[in-house]
Each structure stands twice: as C-alpha cells, then as structure tokens.
Structure 1
C-alpha cells in the first residue's frame, strides 16, 4: 500500500516544513512496526518549492489472517476457499490497514500538533495527496461525493481490469489524487475515515469504541457531510446498533453548534422599543438569571450543566462563589473547545480553574461521572431530541445520575404567535424536534416527577402574557426525601419500564 503527501512552498515558506508538520525528517528513511506489517516513511523529493512524503505499508498477509482468526473473524468458509485469505489485494490496495498506519505513524500530525511551527499546523496549506490504487466500492462517483464536499479537487481515474483487454471494463479500483488548501490535520483525518469507507471492508474487530474514533476524527466535517449516513454505516462495518448510536451523536453535535441561534434572536428582530425606552434583557439572559435563582434557592453547590454548548451558563455560574464545582457536559467536542476558549480556562487562576470541568458525553446514555451532584440543568435541551429518545434521557438524568435538583427550561409554543416574523405552524429553531404548550410540558414534567420520586414546581421566564403565557417555561424538580429502601424499589421499577441503552444494545 502506498500514499504520498506533497506540499508546495517558496523561499519564505519552504515546502520542507512538511517534515516538521509530520514529525519525520526529510533526510531519513524511517520504519515503524504495526499490527499488520511494517510502515516506511521516506521523502522522494524535498526542496523549498516542493516536498513529498511517502508512506509505504508492507502488509504481511499471513499475520493478517492469523490475527483475524484470533479475533473470531475467520471468514475462510469452505476449505476450498481458504487460499483466498492469503492471495488477495491487501498488500497493494489502500484500505483500513493503511488508515491504521496513518494513525500510528502520523499521530501528532493528526492532532494538529507541531511545537516548532504551530502557525503552519493551524493554517490551510497547498496540499496534493496521491493514492495509486484505492478500492472504491461505488466507483469514481462515490469518491467525488465523499471528498469534494470537504474542499478537495478530486481526481478519481478508474483502473482497467487489464489494459490489454479493454473490453473487460474497469476494475473496482481508482487512482486517487486530491488537491486543495486545507490544514494538514484535516487532510489526514479525512483519509483516516474515508479510506476504509471506500474499501468497505474493515480488517479488524469493530468494537463500540470505534464510534468514539469516528466522531473524534470526523469532528468539524462529518456533522454536516451529505453522505454521513453512508460514512457511518461503512466505517462501522454496517453494524446497525453502532451506526444508530453514531448518527444520534452526530445529530446532537450538529444541534449543539446551532444552540446559540435561539428564540432571543427572533425576539430582538421584532423589538419595537424606541431609543429612549429601556430595552429588556435578552431572553437568553433572563433564562440564565431564572436558572441561577432556582439553583441558589435549592442551596446547590455542585452543579451539572447538561448540554452546556459553548459555556454561557458555566461562565455565569463561575461568577458566584457559592457554586463550588461546575461540570459542563456536551456531546460536541468542538462546542467544548469553544467553551474552553470562551471561559479562558488556560489563563484562569488555579483556584478558579479547580471549580470547573468540561466533559464530553451523550445525555441519552447513563454516565457514572454524573452521579452525586446537588443539581443539574437542562437548558433548552429536551426539544432537540426526538420524542422516542426522551425516555432514555429521563432515565439517564432522573433515574441514574439522580441529582437533588433538576432545572429544565424549554420554549412555550403558545407564545410563538407573538412573533410576527415566525411563520404560523413553525418552531422557533430549525433543529427543534417539537415545542410544547404549557399543558404538554406540565404533563411531561409531572409524569417524570412521579416516576422518579421528585416534586416539581413551575415558573415563567420572560414576559408572562395573560393569553399565551411566557416565551420560556421552567420547571424545578426537587428530589423527595424518601427512605433508601423506597428509593431503591422505585429505581428498580423505573429500570423495568425504561430500557437503558446498554440493555437495549445487549438485546
């Protein structure tokens, strides 16, 4: 298997900077051992104008078969077909094995790390990538559909089965070239995910942590890729349960990036106050104030912000010293990075930084890290989930994490008629799966409270219209003071009625 990465440059920004970015010296040929053979890195050319790094993977077919047997993946079938395991295209055609070698050999470059040239690692570069033989189940059209939305100029030349017999047609292989100005780390992450997708045959055991890998290396581009369903399915070897989990988390990550574009923007768009009138605080600020008041009234010190997005509420909590531990949780790693920058965690004093922590996680799955806190906040979160997924969130928060207080805010759909710019029958945000009336919200909250042993109280947020109510509705759940035995029995009953994702997977 063979792949080259080329960078063009000039005397001021020499192309040989590629050696620093890849952490591999252009004047050396280096070898690395992988699970399936030896990977070699060398530079066919290295000048100020152009520098090319080559990755050659020598696959050991016997080791590949033995490893597959050890992992329970012996696909040899009948004895007559056993030779196919040893005689195949694996030593020559780029596949998931080459993706593994990329991650092994260029791990720092994949993360975008370069201590000597950090500005080059963070900037788009004029790159050219060539893969002489690439399996492409779906043909050249699929290759273009996968790479072109990412900003690449794609060349995908089909390779004939035999040039001497053109009537035989083309093989399933293409000669791939990619050209574009992208960050090197992005280019490597595109290859790491999409090489096995095109091959459509991963050559190692697919475990649940492959979902985490897919989301980690797909962060920033896979959330909005038009072929994300195909990418997730093929990358996870068409394992339906893992693919569904990946798609749900990708959707939540996409929604998290849009969470800041909420109803307060509609509110501001129709603000009819004059310059001499005092303008009311934005709805988002009123909502945060109401949440802080609920947390203070509950006497909470250790608080979870579930679906923290870019950290606005976390920042407000940090301003009040009575909140001694603040944990922001979000499914989007990118949102957490933005929150970290917004909060300036790296520049924060030691004592203040010790009070805050940011965690990546999905709210529809139980998480032992979230147990034992005084309070949890779900601010403008529930409406972004499909209704069939709400029971999973309910159990994860109210049944498993079980904080003493839970504060939930969500839009009041009745108030939508007060915004002239919002078409009738439309939700306030394109990513809202639903919006409840006051009666519907209370019906849901009352049911959750009864099921999990909480009391619940309601307060309006924003102007409380006598006809349609407030724009935002807030519910505060308070854990009832029940005996440990009764609480255990109640939790057992909940487990019987709400199947957790782990049980669901096992089933």
Structure 2
C-alpha cells in the first residue's frame, strides 16, 4: 500500500523535520509483517511530498502467528492480503512516524504545534461502506474529503464499483494530529484489523484518539470497528470516552452491534462522570457569584458552552495549548453564527499555562478542570506561579482524578488516560493544595465529585481556592 503526505507550507521541506526523515534519503524499516519504505518523490521550497510504501510479506505474516491467534488454515498463505493491508499500514505508520505522531520536534518545536496545509492521498484503500463512510469519519475532523470509488473492472462498467476508494484528504492540521487520526481510522475504514488485540488496545485507542475521538459524532462506530466488535473492550472504551465528553454512554444504536448481555438497561444508566464534574464546577461558580470566568485548558469547549448559557456570567474566556481543540470549541459554540453581543462575551485564544500571559488575568474565577494531571511534574511549579501568582483570580477551581478510586474501575490497569503524567491520591492532592494556598495567599476547600465509596472516596477530587482579602499584593 502507498500513502503520501504533502504540504505547501513554506519552506515545504520543513516536512522532513516534522517526520524526522531526511528528504534526500530513502529509508527502509523492517516490520514483522513486511517492509516499510519512506521516500520523497518531490522536495522543493513550494511543495514537499513524503511517501510511505508498505510491502506486506504474507509468508512472514503467517509465520508470526502466535499460539493464541486463531488458525485461518490455508487462508493464511493467500498472497492477496489487500483486505488486511490498510490495517497493517496504520501499524507501520505509527511505528515509522512515532516521534512525529507524538508531536515532538526539537529542531522546529514551534512548527510541531502549527496547523499546516496538508494533502494526504491513498490511491487504493478498502472502505466498507464506501465514500459516505469516509466522509462521515474525516469531515468532522476538518478535512475536505475526495473519495472516488474504484470500478470493479474498468472493462465492464456495468459491474459497478468495488469496495476500494481513491482517497484524498485536504486540510489544515497539526501533522501529529493528522497521523494519529490516520492510525485510528485506517483499520476503521476497512473493518478488518487482522492482528492480535490485547486488553491494552483500549489504551492505544485513547492515546491516539485523544479529544478528537471523544467529540466525534461517530465515535461509537469508530470504537466498535477499531476494536473488531469485541463487546467488552468496546464498552470499556466508550465508558472512558464518556468521561471526556458531555454525552451519555450510548452503545445501543445501529452502529453498536454489541451482545445483548452487554446492553445497559435504562435504570442502570448513570450520569457520566464528566457531566457530574461540570455540574459541580458550575455550582461552585454560582456559589462564588462570579461574573467572569476563564477556562484554562478548555479543550473542545464543553464547559464554555455551559458557561455562556449560565445566568449572571457576563464574560467568558477559553484558553488551550492546542489550536485543534480551539477549532473544535469554536465549532461547538457556533462562533460563526453568534450575534455581535454574544461574540463580545467570549474570547478564545491559544496559550501555554506554564508561561505568564496577561490575557489570563482579570477574571473572578479560573477553572483548571482535568488539566494538572496532563502537566509534567517538573512543570507544575511554573503553572502554579502563572495561575496563582501572576493571574491571581478571585477563585481557582481545580479538578483531578482520585487515584485511590482507580481500583474500582473494571479493566483499568494503569492511569485513566494515556496522556496523564500522574494521578494523585487524596493525601497527595491535599498536600499540593495546602502548599499552593499557603504560598499564594488562598484558602482551600475540598469536595468530591461522583459516586462516593466508603473506602476509596469519590472518583474526582475538586478543590475550591478563594483568594484571601489581605493577600492581593
């Protein structure tokens, strides 16, 4: 299979820095199922194209079959493996471009965070559901999708189209986001992910999906296809995604196709923890009588949407380090259709919470909802200084997972989200809050969010910091 990534960003050869592959070299990468080759068919200041060519070795693929892998009998030796090749292309892409997919570029760090004009083309791609499915999956992510069905036989047009597409995507995204989306959606398109999946597959999906999957209108379809109809893993993934968005866990629709025993009855359905967090934060904001609120690390804008509808709040701001998340937020809030008065109440801007920024200051309440655990521990003092020391809002609301509660999550073997740098237990969070409050002149109150367990507490911890009147200097 062949995949090409092109850009017209000037200079276009910066693509080589982002992919960590030099345009002047042809590089081969051995895979357990074949060979992946990276080369540049064109590399000029105006346009640069990187090509990933995957050659699948069916014999090597068959010989690597583990003891637990089902025996496909003679089918494992069939040379035409196009039905599985796109899934393997996703695996090769994740391996060959692993550093680029993580968003790391020491040579051009500012470029790694920049949305670039990208064109991604796959000349032959199996797609169950045809062009409509390709558009459903990619258009909500900001891509312009050209999906041309390939005839079953050009000599016999009456036979109609095959299940293969010529797919071309155009858009402005961070390269890391584009690669992560491809890694997830390539096996979703062909729905034939023929390699062994373990319990850590849910973590892999969440690590690659991040915020874009939680906000995707077809996340149930994506999750089910990615996990290969394994109902238990699908339910676990959807439950964890529900914590990242304000939607009910829904795996009972036409795209779910889970076993009858997996379906929750209406009386068993619970309000998603993420919604409970939002309700707790909004209640605290109302208690404080805030008229202006800034959401630091606003993500795709769930809380901003609620704040704009809350009575008494006259000014709302959302800040995030990810331009893609801000684009999602603008779309969710329908910024393009806002009246002048409504638009005057809202400000969205990009910023890093570890660097002082005058735009952070001047608000009654600042919210750090599920943010601190995404910050590397050595960077936390910088965040504390920026938020509590420089911006100094009247109150700061901080929510973070309670690690004590993790033992109650079935199937959870590590942290709740792959991007979490740490998770505090209740004692660790209390110590951090006490130190920050004493250092910067705040009082702090602790609350729990979610179902309370007598031994392990609540799943989410909420701290309400209020600035002391005599600590304004």
TM class by smaller structure = 0.5 to 0.7
Instruction: State the partner residue of 1:74.
Output: 71
Q: Which residue of 2 aligns with 1:64?
A: 61
Distance 2:375 2:424 in 1: 25
Pair member with larger Rg: 1
Cα distance change, pair 218–21 in 1 and its aligned pair in 2 (3 A): same
Residue 135 of structure 2 corresponds to residue 144 of structure 1: yes
Q: Do residues 381 (structure 1) and 372 (structure 2) align?
A: no
Q: 1:86 aligns with which of 70, 78, 89?
A: 78
CA contact (8 A) 2:402 2:461 kept: no
Match of 2:185 among 194, 219, 225: 194
Instruction: Supply the distance in 2 between the matched residues of 1:44 and 1:15 (Cα, whole angstroms).
Output: 13
Distance apart, 1:336 and its partner CA: 2.8
- The residue that corresponds to 1:34 in the other structure is 31
Taking a change above 3 Å as real, the CA distance of residues 244 and 163 of structure 1, as seen in their structure-2 partners, is same
Cα 1:368–1:135, aligned 2, differ >3 Å: closer, same or farther? closer
Q: Distance in 2 between matches of 1:174 and 1:368?
A: 39
Deviations 1:292-332 (A, max 9, x none): xxxxxxxxxxxxxxxxxxxx9xxxxxxxxxxxxxxxxx9x6
- Contact 2:401 2:460 survives alignment (8 Å): no
Q: Tell whether 2:409 aligns with 1:365.
A: yes
User: What stretches of structure 1 move > 6 A for 4+ residues in a row?
Assistant: 268-271, 338-342, 358-362, 366-373, 375-378, 407-411
Structure 1: stretches of 5+ with no match in the other structure: 77-81, 272-281, 283-311, 313-329, 349-357, 383-389, 412-507
Structure 2 unaligned blocks of 5 or more: 247-272, 292-312, 314-352, 354-368, 386-399, 415-422, 431-445, 463-473
Partner of 2:321: none
Q: Is the aligned partner of 1:336 residue 2:373?
A: yes
* Alpha-carbon distance in structure 1 between the residues aligned to 2:66 and 2:168: 35
Q: Given the superposition, is the C-alpha separation of residues 121 and 162 from structure 1 closer, same or farther in structure 2, using an over 3 Å criterion?
A: same
Tell me how far apart the structure 1 counterparts of residues 106 and 461 of structure 2 sit (CA, whole Å): 45
Q: TM-score, normalised by structure 2?
A: 0.60
User: How many residues are aligned here?
Assistant: 322
Q: CA deviation at 1:408?
A: 9.3
Structure 1 residue 68, shift from structure 2 partner:
3.1
Tell me the secondary structure at the aligned position of residue 182 of structure 2: helix
Q: Distance in 2 between matches of 1:57 and 1:89?
A: 12
Q: Check whether the contact 2:17–2:108 (CA below 8 A) recurs between aligned residues.
A: yes
Q: Deviations over 1:36-69 (max 9, x none)?
A: 1111000000000000000001100112122235
Decide whether the 8 Å contact of 2:5 with 2:50 is kept in 1: yes
Deviation at 1:231, TM superposition (A): 0.7
**Cα offset, 1:267, TM superposition:** 5.0
Whether the 8 Å contact between 2:402 and 2:426 is mirrored in structure 1 is no
- 2-structure distance, mates of 1:234, 1:170: 23
Contact 2:223/2:238 (8 A) holds in 1: yes
Deviation at 1:257, TM superposition (A): 6.9
The offset of 1:263, in angstroms, is: 1.9
Which SS does the other structure have where 1:115 is aligned? coil
Question: What is the distance in 2 between the residues matched to 1:341 and 1:266?
Answer: 33
RMSD of aligned C-alpha atoms? 3.9
Q: 1:443-478 deviations in whole A, cap 9, x for unaligned? A: xxxxxxxxxxxxxxxxxxxxxxxxxxxxxxxxxxxx
